[in-house]
Structure 1
Amino acid sequence: MSSAPQSLADLKSAIAEQHPSLSKRLRQVAQYVIDHPNEIAFGTVAVIAKDADVHPSTLVRFANAFGYSGFSEMQRLFQQKLLQESPSYTDRVRFLREEFGDDSGETPLQLLSQFANANASALDQLRNTIDGADLEKAIDILAEAESTHVVGVRRAFVVATYFAYALRHIDRRAYLIDGVGGMYKEQGSSVGEKDAVIATSFHPYAPETQEVARAAVEKGVPLILITDSQLSPLANSASVCFVVRDAEVHGFRSLSSTLCLAQALSIGLAYRMEKQREAG
């Protein structure tokens, strides 16, 4: 590469794009980098190489392949990201105050402007990157399904809830797999062979979502996946995979682009059904 990615999101995009052309060992490093960002952030080259089952020089070659002068230069992206993704909103705000100071001028109106601008850019990217053929295929799947089962946990739960709400309002049988009482497996077992599953899964990719989706795929049920990376664990199992880059400001991630896609799929299905009724 002529220039190295300057953000972790850009690096992940570059990895996904170049993944097929990488050597076997570099693909092995790529998978480890995507799956273990915290270990990459603060591990030594020796420890990371041992965990990834590669020679330390392979880590350096991987960094060089993406334009970095060395592994530590690439590693800084993971360190910065980890600091921004503190476990709670309170910790993130505290980090921002420490980084910018109390006199940084971050007023609520300025924050609103930043979020609005970031979301506008992300929505433009969504419009330019989503394949129309994939949208049509996903709507085909939903139109043919007897029932649609929707799963997504933590941040993705908002998207799953919207899908269930929207599909029911257009007279489709839709079931939200919410895991009440820890019953993800039991709810997932109700997915029939003539049904469809919509799964929304973002890094670090919830095991509950993966379990439900994989069980459905084993039955031959089509899976519509909305995720943030082509290297998502479910990407290769999906009948249709949508990779969405939501906006992020100061470590706080939006859902505007993902919800926009969910709305387009739901209303697109409603249009399809109306045309079928008119034709019939």
Structure 2
Amino acid sequence: MPQPPQSYRELETLITAEYATLSKRLQQTARFVLDHPQEVALATVAKIAEQADVTPSTLIRLANSLGFKGFSEMQQLFRSRLVDELPNYTERIRAVRSATGETPDSTQLLWEFADANRAVLEQLPSRINPESLEKALDIFEQAHAIHVMGARRSFMVASYMTYALAHVDKPALLVNGLGGMYGEQLRAMSQHDALLTISFSPYAEESQKACEDAHQRGLPIVVITDSTLSPLARFADVVFVVNEAEVKSFRSLTASLCLTQTLAIALGVRQDKTRDKEKDHDKKRNA
């Protein structure tokens, strides 16, 4: 089976290249998905099949022929495209209503977001390598200070982590670019510090620059992102890949917040144990 495309543009290129080799029914399906990307991103398989005048199994066969394990894997590329091209929430809401013909009520949305977030939280522990968790804590414990970077959507996670670290008595600085001073804040990082960067597709340039700068200066880097193919991953000493919940093209941050909270509290526990050992050592020495 061929390697599936990793982006909507790659998918578009592959379909164009392979179009002539597809059966007439798959050609019809391929033309529909490229002509109606919003509908494909937001509607159910049954609804898409109805609009394309094909069976749901035809959609699955098209996805398989392009290297995907199933239709939902291919659909994710359409959703990522929608998120990238419609950053404004109002535009996304209009796209959802246009594609599905539905206007979900508030209670329905609450249940959908709650169910989606519950699912990703249940999966999170099995997706995090315990060795990576311990290595990240080693880096944080040894660092004189932790610089935390998160731009745009990731800013909330970064700001919470900075707050949490301060409350476990770990010096932490939020790289926020206030006053356009990203450069000055990055230069304030010393060789004894560490950098934590949180960034998700489409990956803020500021976050990439922070990782590149820290890497060149030899600082240890921990990255929380959404793919091993993230451009930030190659700079990192530890990479945590987090899958966030998504409902109607709106992505949550629940799993990332859970992970950062775990890192902060686990670091606090470590530091407390270290202080106890130091006290015991001092008592024995002075006895």
TM exceeds 0.5? yes
Contact 1:41 1:79 in 2 (8 A): no
User: Who is 2:65 aligned against?
Assistant: 69
Given candidates 145, 150, 156, the residue that maps to 1:152 is: 150
Contact 1:41 1:82 in 2 (8 A): no
- Give matches, 1:108-123, under 5 Å: 108-123=106-121
Contact 1:150 1:198 in 2 (8 A): yes
Report the residue type matching 1:159 in the other structure.
V
Deviation at 1:181, TM superposition (A): 2.2
TM-score if structure 2 supplies the norm length?
0.73
Deviation at 1:70, TM superposition (A): 4.0
User: Who is 2:222 aligned against?
Assistant: 224
User: Who is 1:13 aligned against?
Assistant: none
Deviation at 1:107, TM superposition (A): 1.8
Instruction: Quote the sequence identity (%).
Output: 41
User: Who is 1:52 aligned against?
Assistant: none
User: Who is 1:166 aligned against?
Assistant: 164
Deviation at 1:100, TM superposition (A): 2.7
Instruction: Tell me: CA distance 1:76–1:149, structure 2 relative to 1, closer, same or farther (3 Å).
Output: closer
Instruction: Tell me: CA distance 1:110–1:175, structure 2 relative to 1, closer, same or farther (3 Å).
Output: same
- SS of alignment partner, residue 115 of structure 2: helix
- SS of alignment partner, residue 68 of structure 1: helix
Report the residue type matching 2:90 in the other structure.
T
Q: Distance in 2 between matches of 1:251 and 1:136?
A: 33
Given candidates 120, 124, 127, the residue that maps to 2:122 is: 124
User: Who is 1:205 aligned against?
Assistant: 203
Determine whether 1:39 maps to 2:39: no
- Give matches, 1:38-57, under 5 Å: 39-40=9-10, 56=17
Q: Distance in 1 between matches of 2:219 and 2:162?
A: 18
The count of corresponding residues between Structure 1 and Structure 2 is: 232
User: Who is 2:239 aligned against?
Assistant: 241
User: Who is 2:49 aligned against?
Assistant: none
Report the residue type matching 2:64 in the other structure.
Y
Deviation at 1:217, TM superposition (A): 1.2
Q: Distance in 1 between matches of 2:229 and 2:152?
A: 20
User: Who is 2:99 aligned against?
Assistant: 99
Instruction: Tell me: CA distance 1:223–1:249, structure 2 relative to 1, closer, same or farther (3 Å).
Output: same
Contact 1:164 1:174 in 2 (8 A): yes
User: Who is 1:191 aligned against?
Assistant: 189
Instruction: Tell me: CA distance 1:236–1:83, structure 2 relative to 1, closer, same or farther (3 Å).
Output: closer
TM-score if structure 1 supplies the norm length?
0.75
- SS of alignment partner, residue 199 of structure 1: strand
Instruction: Tell me: CA distance 1:200–1:77, structure 2 relative to 1, closer, same or farther (3 Å).
Output: closer
Gaps of 5+ in 2: 22-61, 279-287
Q: Which runs of 4+ in 1 moved over 6 A?
A: 71-76
Contact 1:149 1:197 in 2 (8 A): yes
**Residues 236-263 of structure 1 deviation map (CA, whole Å, 9 limit, x = unaligned):** 2211100000100000000000000000
Q: Distance in 2 between matches of 1:76 and 1:259?
A: 26
Q: Distance in 1 between matches of 2:83 and 2:191?
A: 42
Deviation at 1:88, TM superposition (A): 1.0
Gaps of 5+ in 1: 2-21, 47-55, 61-65
Contact 2:220 2:236 in 1 (8 A): yes
Q: Distance in 2 between matches of 1:84 and 1:253?
A: 9
Deviation at 1:41, TM superposition (A): 6.0
